[in-house]
Structure 1
Amino acid sequence: MNRKERQEARAERYRQYAENAERRATAAFNASSAAVDGIPAGQPILVGHHSEKAHRRALDRSHSAMGRSVRESEKAAYYRQKAEAVENNDNIYLGDDDAIERLEAKIAELSELQDRMKATNKIIRSKSMSDADKVAALCELGYTEPYATKFVANNNQFPAYALTNNNAKINAAKKQLELAKKLADKEDREYEAGDLTIEECYSENRVRVHFPGKPEEEMRVNLKRHGFRWAPSLGCWQAYISRRTLDFIKEITKSNQ
């Protein structure tokens, strides 16, 4: 299962949680109504009457059930938001099958934006162009005429920090692309070190450590400190591949031989 499939499975799981919570909320709401079905609307508690205790118990049950309904409704909304967030997560991960293609497209898009911002500022700052010429030049860059006219009239320019931030994104994406290409050139490998089994899964950008049993607390703390997390579905500790995690793997394999 690749990351996209895992993402879809996670979103579906959250949607299922939401549906279950909604069913519980509906059931609790119905229970709240049923608890006071035999009591006329607006009927006050008749203090001292033989019905007083039953009336109070019914109200308590109704109130308790309504509280459960509200909590389950909030839980359903929470899981629906989680599902939506997972579905809308378009971050690029090195383990994605299409990471290289998406990173190249991202760099091209950011570079185009950088060139457009620079060209826009150059046009706006021009002393030799009339406002009409500036509007025409901006339209050639892809701006609509109304937007270009407003841009020129207000002497709008992209601030320096916008160019700096976008350039930083380009450089970060280029570094990520370089790493993605390096990972793509490496083959996955699995090896043993004593009673440990190590998987270096470059295709998924993961390194995994399989212990014969539950590691000692000191080792668990050390694993977490180096970015490893327990993966119940795989029965191992895993982390993203990095120089830090691979160096840590070397340390524990040496000490375990």
Structure 2
Amino acid sequence: MKSNFEERRQARKERYEELADKNRQQSEERYDAARSIGDRIPMGQPILVGHHSERGHRAALKRIDNNMRKSIEHDGKARYYEDKVQTIENDRTIYSDDPEAIQKLKQRLADLERHQAWMKTINRLCRSKKLTDAQITEQLEDQYGCSTSIIHGLLNPQYSYQKRGFQTWQLSNNNANIRRIKQRIAQLEKAEGEQTSERTIGEVTIVDSVEHNRLQIFFPDKPSAEVRAQLKQHGFRWSRQQGCWQRHRSSAAMYQAKKIVGQYGGE
């Protein structure tokens, strides 16, 4: 399971790298072609209207313009796919189809809970009536490793109505993340007891894939433009790797899948 998840992730990265390299090469080739054509035209040479060279000159300028536009277009695509590669490399998102998702989420939950407790401790210190600012600053530096800029922000709220320390919204946001992750863990633990199932409607197969965390629709052939539009409208995307239309599994996904397949002619 782990290897499959990592293999899919690596395959996406390699595909984007391949597309980036391809478009980068095409961009350079188009640029070189435009420059080569331009080199054959004397610098500053205007179009000689009525001269036998007029037609060829205009055609050359058109080819230069076309190659430069294509070069810019491919350069943009190369940058797009390079950004995709960078996103995958820097991605710290925990995906539900990652076999280690529950373990990773529990680690993140523990980190957030420690951070919540740390913020509350800092607030008690910053709002203490028994300590001077110098003593609070010393403890923030020595015991809690706070930098000078952080200490300044903690002891000097931006607005007069705010208290020292971390603000209520900061604790609330962190607490909301804690609740959200607890809910995800509960959902994934529940899903661990589920099994992949499939149903056939007419010639179409709907697979509720637990291991991929996707609801997948396998058509016998390419569906019509109308059906494809409905699939996209309801969140389904074509997966070339899986050879199906799919979206994250849910009861809503199953409902929409059955509805669309029914219109396709399965029921």
Do both proteins adopt the same fold according to a TM-score greater than 0.5, normalized to the shorter chain? yes
Matches within 5 A, 1:96-107: 96-107=98-109
* Equivalent pair of 2:155/2:165 in contact (CA under 8 Å): no
CA deviation after TM superposition for structure 1 residue 94, in Å: 1.3
Letter in 2 for 1:32: A
Most deviating of 94-103 and 28-37: 28-37
Letter in 2 for 1:103: L
Alignment match of 1:23 (pick from 22, 25, 33):
25
CA deviation after TM superposition for structure 1 residue 136, in Å: 3.5
Alignment match of 1:94 (pick from 96, 111, 117):
96
Matches within 5 A, 1:66-145: 66-139=68-141, 142-144=144-146
CA deviation after TM superposition for structure 1 residue 211, in Å: 4.0
* Equivalent pair of 2:230/2:260 in contact (CA under 8 Å): no
Aligned to 2:152: 150
TM-score with structure 2 length normalisation? 0.79
Letter in 2 for 1:15: E
Letter in 1 for 2:191: L
Alignment match of 1:204 (pick from 208, 212, 215):
212
CA deviation after TM superposition for structure 1 residue 170, in Å: 0.7
Aligned to 1:166: 174
Aligned to 1:65: 67
* Equivalent pair of 2:116/2:171 in contact (CA under 8 Å): yes
Aligned length: 257
Aligned to 2:161: none
* Equivalent pair of 1:32/1:65 in contact (CA under 8 Å): yes
- Once residues 108 and 171 of structure 2 are traced to their aligned partners in structure 1, the CA distance between those partners, rounded to angstroms, is 16
The verdict on how the C-alpha distance between 1:163 and 1:54 changes in structure 2, with shifts beyond 3 A counting, is same
Deviations 1:78-125 (A, max 9, x none): 221222223322211211111011100111111112112221122111
SS at match of 2:195: coil
* Equivalent pair of 1:100/1:177 in contact (CA under 8 Å): yes
- Once residues 186 and 16 of structure 2 are traced to their aligned partners in structure 1, the CA distance between those partners, rounded to angstroms, is 34
Matches within 5 A, 1:18-57: 18-57=20-59
Letter in 1 for 2:109: I
SS at match of 1:238: strand
Letter in 1 for 2:173: N
The verdict on how the C-alpha distance between 1:202 and 1:119 changes in structure 2, with shifts beyond 3 A counting, is same
Letter in 2 for 1:241: R
SS at match of 1:133: helix
Alignment match of 1:241 (pick from 246, 249, 263):
249
SS at match of 1:36: helix
TM-score with structure 1 length normalisation? 0.82
The verdict on how the C-alpha distance between 1:50 and 1:250 changes in structure 2, with shifts beyond 3 A counting, is closer
Structure 2 gaps of 5+ residues are: 158-163
- Once residues 61 and 217 of structure 1 are traced to their aligned partners in structure 2, the CA distance between those partners, rounded to angstroms, is 36
Query: Cα RMSD between the aligned structures?
Result: 3.3
* Equivalent pair of 2:126/2:155 in contact (CA under 8 Å): no
Q: Higher relative contact order by CA 8 Å / sep ≥ 6: 1 or 2? A: 1
